Amino acid sequence: MENIIEIKNVNFRYQNADEEDTGVNVLERINLNIKKGEFVAVLGHNGSGKSTLAKLCNAILLPSSGVVLSYGMDTSNEQNLFDIRKKIGMVFQNPDNQLVATVVEEDVAFGLENIGVPGEEMRKRVDDALKAVDMYEYREHAPHKLSGGQKQRVAIAGIIAMKPECIVLDEPTAMLDPRGRTEVMNTIRMLNRDFGITIVLITHYMEEAAEADRIVVIDDGTVMLDGKPESVFSKVSLLKSVGLDVPQVTELMFRLKEQGLPAHTHIITEEAAFDLLYKLLK
């Protein structure tokens, strides 16, 4: 599979209130590729640099040094911004900050109006996007009357309507209750599985990360781990040493293993844990 995002030897540091370079790297010597069609979860404790990494992907932020290529386009070149953001959509943590209209379908149409999509095509895109996130029946509702999970799905519909090939989601379930988180994660999985949209999910929920094809762990601005969920979460002690957790079933396996039982810390699903426990108890 081709790389659609290439991050090459990137450093990033913010400026202070006087727009002076702070001299402190938030990200340091980052090298990372995202392949077409992947579902990649990015983990890290608060302040690790994971949200900064997300914003580099579609040129919301630009590297202090090094190169970020999105679909082969250098994000530092202003002439590429429109084309990059057509291909890579971004969903943020607070859905209330992304909803701009008083009616759901008008909100989904907002971005399309800004790029001059014709009326008939706009109507189809809005309807298709709302159906994709299972919010079509709410198309004439007021966004502020929706639940948190529903608002976030409307925000995602607004991105889908733009027909991106990749969506970067920066902790989209952080402000939601368990039901809302489930709704949004079901939508994210569907977009990846059924539409082939590349997903980059920034999250601090281990169970969400366990659903990805691949996990990247950021610690103090560097890539600490990069691999399949079973491989990454098997390193329980290392993850705990940098303030991260593991899925509950993996924690259970870890504790059983500490007690001398033949448990495996590469287990990350309830089904796999059940099968092992059934064999042990049998």
**Quick check: is 277 in a domain?**
no
**Quick check: is 229 in a domain?**
yes
What does the mean pLDDT of the chain come to? 91
In the predicted model, what is the mean pLDDT of residues 241-246? 91
**Domain range for 100:** 3-246
**Quick check: is 262 in a domain?**
no
Q: Residue 168 pairs with which residues in a beta bridge? A: 90, 200
pLDDT higher than threshold 70 for residue 129: yes
pLDDT higher than threshold 70 for residue 260: yes
**Quick check: is 195 in a domain?**
yes
pLDDT digits (tens, 9 = 90+) for 160-211: 999 899 999 999 988 888 888 898 899 999 999 999 999 999 998 999 999 9
The structure tokens 């940098």 sit at 242
**Quick check: is 144 in a domain?**
yes
**Amino acid identity, residue 260?**
G
- Please give the tally of structural domains in the chain: 1
**Quick check: is 281 in a domain?**
no
Give Rg (Cα) of the chain. 20
pLDDT digits (tens, 9 = 90+) for 26-55: 999 999 999 999 999 999 988 889 999 999
**Quick check: is 19 in a domain?**
yes
**Quick check: is 269 in a domain?**
no
**First-to-last C-alpha distance (Å) of the chain:** 43
pLDDT higher than threshold 90 for residue 114: no
Residue 10: which of 73, 59, 53 has the closest Cα?
A: 53
In the predicted model, what is the mean pLDDT of residues 110-127? 90
CATH number at residue 202: 3.40.50.300
Residue-level pLDDT at 262: 86
pLDDT higher than threshold 70 for residue 22: no
Among the residue ranges 14-18, 85-89, 136-140, 236-240, the one predicted with the least confidence is 14-18
